[in-house]
Chain A
Amino acid sequence: METDTWEKVESLFPIAVELPFAERISFLQNECAGDGQLLSEVESLIQNFEQDSDILDESVFELGLGAISSKLQKNLANSVIGVYELQEKIGAGGRAKFTKRLTRD
């Protein structure tokens, strides 16, 4: 999209999205003054906003922490600590993680 059209969309969208339907139509027709592309762009964005207003509402930061943790545990499994070789995680409780272990000779 042209930068200046996007800038116009940017100035109209936040106002129009707050207006009741009937008022919105007259507001946009007035502001767009015959610019059909601008009008349909703002209307299309508002429609999508209303249909999918909950998109992105749940942050994925915690999922990321889960992913890091899962990766760390995988790295820990199969590692060698002293005389022990950690093979796989077999359970967790409290603050401890229990790992099946095998004493190396």
Chain B
Amino acid sequence: MGCLTELLINWGKGNQDALDELFPLVERELHRMAHHYMARMNLGNTFQTTALINETYIKLVGQNKVEWQNRAHFFGIAANMMRRILLNYIRDQKRRKRGGAQIQVSLEDALVMTEEKSDEILTLEEALCSLAEFDERKAKVVELRYFGGLSVAETAEVLQIAEITVIRDWNMAKAWLAREIKNGN
């Protein structure tokens, strides 16, 4: 998969077309990751999200080629994609329910996510978009940590900022979002 590394490097150099090519590749890997995740869950294993993304990344590019900066880019794209996937999933679920066919929402769907959780994510998404309008970096920190499951250190690496800045952004974003959500957006 030298191709992925190349695309990550090109994207890092500012080639936006590389991003369009990266999305399907990352999406495929997320699908593979999902299979892997469910298999492990069925065996009763627990694990860390970050470890799983890391493992996928290493498999993808080969152990020897792992460069921190490329890995950071990959993490960033995966988080952004997960945000889209989750929102599409929730909206799709709601649409089917509104269609009057409650029965069409399968047991599996219910196991993946409770309705309460779906609503929580949708409300957060709306507030997060408002935050992004005047403080894009804080919104990005939330995307990486909440949707991407990244640690403080990894978030710092993806955004090329200090860890202390990530912690401060994270705390302030949480405070702002909590208030925005309480005020009903």
Interface residues of A (CB under 8 A from B): 1, 3, 6, 9-10, 13-14, 17, 44-46, 48-49, 51-53, 55-56, 59-74, 89, 92-95
Q: Are B34 and A72 in contact (CB under 8 A)?
A: yes
- The minimal Cβ–Cβ distance linking B61 to chain A, given in whole angstroms, is 20
Report the separation of the CA atoms of residues A27 and B182 in the bound assembly, to the nearest whole angstrom: 27
Q: Are B82 and A64 in contact (CB under 8 A)?
A: yes
Q: Which of B86, B106, B178 has the most CB of A within 10 A?
A: B178
Which among B30, B85, B178 is the interface contact of A52 at CB below 8 angstroms? B178
* Complex interface: chain B residues within 8 A of A44 (CB): 179
Q: 9 A-B residue contacts at CB 8 Å?
A: A46-B175, A48-B175, A60-B121, A61-B148, A65-B34, A68-B85, A69-B35, A74-B108, A93-B42
* Complex interface: chain A residues within 8 A of B176 (CB): 45, 48
Interface of A is mostly: helix
In this assembly, does B177 line the interface, its C-beta being within 8 Å of a C-beta of chain A? yes
Stretch in contact with the other chain, from B4-12, B15-23, B65-73, B166-174: B166-174
Binary A-proximity of B155-185 (CB < 8 A = 1, otherwise 0): 0000000000000100110111111011000
Q: Are B147 and A60 in contact (CB under 8 A)?
A: yes
In this assembly, does B117 line the interface, its C-beta being within 8 Å of a C-beta of chain A? yes
Q: Which residue of B lies closest to A49 (CB)?
A: B175
In this assembly, does B76 line the interface, its C-beta being within 8 Å of a C-beta of chain A? no
Nearest first, the 8 A-B pairs at minimum CB distance are A61-B149, A49-B175, A52-B178, A59-B149, A68-B34, A66-B112, A67-B89, A45-B175
Report the separation of the CA atoms of residues A74 and B49 in the bound assembly, to the nearest whole angstrom: 24
Report the separation of the CA atoms of residues A26 and B5 in the bound assembly, to the nearest whole angstrom: 53
In this assembly, does B113 line the interface, its C-beta being within 8 Å of a C-beta of chain A? yes
With contact pairs A66-B38, A70-B109, A71-B89 given, residues A61 and B147 touching in the complex (Cβ less than 8 Å): yes
* Complex interface: chain A residues within 8 A of B13 (CB): none
Report the separation of the CA atoms of residues A71 and B96 in the bound assembly, to the nearest whole angstrom: 14
16 more A-B residue pairs beyond the given contacts A49-B174, A60-B86, A69-B34, with a C-beta to C-beta distance below 8 A? A13-B171, A13-B172, A13-B175, A14-B172, A48-B175, A48-B182, A56-B174, A60-B117, A61-B49, A62-B149, A64-B85, A68-B30, A68-B34, A69-B112, A70-B111, A95-B43
- The minimal Cβ–Cβ distance linking A33 to chain B, given in whole angstroms, is 21
